[in-house]
Amino acid sequence: MTSQLSALALRGLTKRFDRPAVDALDLTIHVGEFYALLGPNGAGKTTTLRMVAGLLRPDAGSVSILGVDALADPVAAKQIMAWVSDEPMIYDKLTPLEYLEFVAGLWGIDPRTSEKSARNLLISLGLEPHLNERCEGFSKGMRQKVALAGALVHDPRLIILDEPLTGLDALSARHVKGLLQERVRTGCTVIMTTHILEVAERMADRIGVIASGRLIAEGTLNELREQNGRNDTTLEDMFIALVDTEAAAA
């Protein structure tokens, strides 16, 4: 499924607030890979991804997205990327279709293509009865689905999702997971942070664990088990052991 081209390459990425939030992080994610970035609260996951998405300027380091230097040419990098935050940011006074029309317009997508794609996306996420209702009355899960559809409507090659399954019911979560896996099958790269370790365990090709702004473990589930020295352990056990070890070392 994965090729060895790099969809995202971070080198020495650094960001300090009162203390280092991201500390000289090196990370490579390949094209067509489903990558789960895990870590305890405050580990630097969201800060890392916000720098990749162009929402935060790093203090040092480089960000390369499919060969495009995202710091030197942010517009070109943004053209091929989508960002979905944990808090769905949509417009209450727009309908889902209007929202997707706006997103497609921002990315300069031909309306003939984007309209069909928008409808299909919203329908596949179970929003067909609400296509022309304003979002102001939507639940958090519905808003999350609209935001996700917005991220996919311009057919990005790199999708970055920060806790995308928060607030979704089981059926919606399955819809979202299916949609993301389908994108990965077509060659798209997905990077996702999550606290639901079972999701990472089931869906991710590779998993990275970040703590105190540094990558402390990375690999497939089996590689992580080997690193941990136990073949029958769950990701949850490994995660807790890794984070505890890191905390003790700090």
Partner 1 sequence: MSSTAHLTWFARHEFRLAWREWLAMMTGGRRRRNRAVIGLLVFAAILHLPAYAVVARYVDLRFPLDPSSLIVLTATIFLSWALMLSQAIESVTRVFYARADLDLIMSSPAKLTNIFSIRIAAIALTVSSMALLLSTPFIDVLVYLGGPRWLAGFGVVLAIGLSAAAAAIAVTAFLFRVIGPSRTRLVAQIVSAVIGAGFVIALQVVAVLSYGTLSRFAFLTSDTAARIAPAPDSLIWWPARASLGDIEIMLLLLAAALVLLGVVMAVFAPRFADTVASVAANPAAVTQGRARAFRSGSRQQALRRKEFLLLRRDPWLLSQSLMQMLYLLPPALMLWRSFSGTSTAIVLITPVIVMAAGQLAGGLAWLTISGEDAPDLVATAPLPPSRVTRAKIEVVLIAIATVFAPLVVALTFASPQQAAVTAIAIIIATASAAAVQLWFRAQAKRSQFRRRQTSSRIATFAEAFSSIGWAATAALALTIPVAALVSGIMTLLTLAIAWKISPRQI
For partner 1, the closer of residues 21 and 135 by Cβ is 135
Alpha carbon distance 181, 187 (integer Å): 10
Residue position matching structure tokens 């300069």: 108
- Write down the least CB distance from residue 22 to partner 1, Å: 18
Distance (Å, rounded) from C-alpha 120 to C-alpha 122? 6
Give dist(CA 210, CA 68) in Å, integer. 24
CA separation for the pair 118, 190 (Å, rounded): 19
Closest separation between CB of residue 133 and partner 1, Å?
5
Nearest distance in Å: CB 244, partner 1:
33
DSSP H or E segment with residue 129: none
Site residues (vs partner 1, CB under 8 A): 53-55, 75-76, 78-79, 81-83, 85, 89-95, 97-98, 101-108, 110-112, 114-115, 118, 131-134, 136-137, 150
Amino acid occupying residue 12: G
In angstroms, give the least distance from the CB of 68 to partner 1.
11
Tokens of 214: 């540094």
State the residue for tokens 């081209």.
5
CB of 162 to partner 1, least distance (A): 10
Burial of 241 (0-12, 13-18, 19+ CB in 10 A): middle
